[in-house]
Amino acid sequence: MLNLTTRLRSRQNTSSMGAGMVNTLARLTLLLIAVTPAWAETVADQRGYQIAERTDRSDRGFHSSIADLTMVLRDASGNESTRALTIQTLEVSDPLLGDKSLILFNTPADVRGTALLSHSRILEPDDQWLYLPALRREKRISSANKSGPFVGSEFAFEDFTAQALEKYEYQYLRSEPCGEFVCDVVERRPKYAESGYTRQISWTDQNRSQMVKVEFYDRRDTLLKTLEMEDYRQYEGKFWRAHRLTMVNHLTGRSTDLVYSDYRFDTEFSDRDFEKSVLRRIR
């Protein structure tokens, strides 16, 4: 009897220990189920940031540049009009500030002398001034208007400010073939206020770390525009530049091409060439 009672108690103790272990495993499983999505999201965020950081790093050190630019405006029926521009850029080394740029219209005559000066910032609103020669004065572009179209094109004013790394939050989505390359697909959400976009989805080729396509989603999270970047060429053995950018507006059917040519790097530009007072000296 004593031995039988002991065995029964032993079975009861073993059964209790087994039930306790099962309960512990069940709690751990529930904890893992709760934690895994958040952990996976963090990993995706880090990978997305690293992909964007590689692209940003590949473009550092050019100091300044100037290029000729042809803008082709195309309506929904395919009718085209063309404008000739010059764009000059000054790299800013301060990580809390973005680059500076000046876009100048050369032709046709009705827009000759129109200029857009941009001082990109990270979380603060960019500084942008549009100079209109007919009025002989510059107009500051308010934060609320930066999502508006730039001089009748399908590009918004905010599309022309530098795409600084820290302006966005990132999340890696997937990798997939894109033409002759494999691309990393990353979603980025603007951290700065007043953006006209809730999010953008970019395709970055793994070979050159350069973006080849970006989808822009408006404030209703509807696909508004798609930008494709083609004809990449490398300068000075390190700087990649796309020579054709095509922005298609899915709501209106209109599109705008930007065709770059005659890139020159490390020019003698300084901060003085990007001061607001320069706009009034443009002829």
Output DSSP code: residue 141.
-
d(CA 259, CA 261): 7
d(CA 161, CA 119): 7
Check pLDDT > 80 for residue 141. yes
pTM over 0.85: no
Q: Retrieve residue 36's tokens.
A: 């895994």
Q: Retrieve residue 257's tokens.
A: 């091409």
In degrees, rounded to 5, the angle at the alpha carbon of residue 188 between the alpha carbons of residues 185 and 192 is 165
The per-residue pLDDT for 260 is: 97
Check pLDDT > 70 for residue 39. no
Check pLDDT > 50 for residue 41. yes
Per-residue CA distances from 184 to 104, 187, 214, 224 (Å):
34, 10, 12, 21
**Model confidence at 282, in pLDDT bands (50, 70, 90)?**
confident
**Model confidence at 37, in pLDDT bands (50, 70, 90)?**
low
**What are the two backbone dihedrals, phi and then psi, of residue 131, each rounded to the nearest 5 degrees?**
-100, 125
d(CA 93, CA 9): 75
Reduce the DSSP state of residue 115 to 3 states and report it.
strand
| Terminal CA-CA length for the chain | 112
**Model confidence at 266, in pLDDT bands (50, 70, 90)?**
confident
d(CA 199, CA 192): 12
The per-residue pLDDT for 184 is: 98
Per-residue CA distances from 24 to 14, 16, 17, 33, 65 (Å):
15, 12, 10, 14, 63
CA nearest to 187, candidates 218, 230, 216: 216
d(CA 118, CA 278): 12
Q: Retrieve residue 19's tokens.
A: 């039930």
Q: How large is the greatest C-alpha to C-alpha distance in the chain, in angstroms?
A: 112
- Tens-digit pLDDT profile for residues 148-163: 898 899 999 889 876 7
Interval 233-254 mean pLDDT: 95
- Tens-digit pLDDT profile for residues 151-202: 899 999 889 876 788 889 999 999 999 988 999 999 999 988 788 999 999 9
Check pLDDT > 50 for residue 8. no
- Tens-digit pLDDT profile for residues 43-60: 889 999 999 999 988 888
**Model confidence at 19, in pLDDT bands (50, 70, 90)?**
low
Output DSSP code: residue 275.
S
Check pLDDT > 80 for residue 3. no
Check pLDDT > 70 for residue 117. yes
The per-residue pLDDT for 7 is: 45
Interval 88-115 mean pLDDT: 89
Per-residue CA distances from 56 to 43, 128, 166, 234, 256 (Å):
20, 22, 10, 15, 25
The per-residue pLDDT for 153 is: 95
Average confidence score pLDDT of the chain:
86
d(CA 187, CA 70): 30
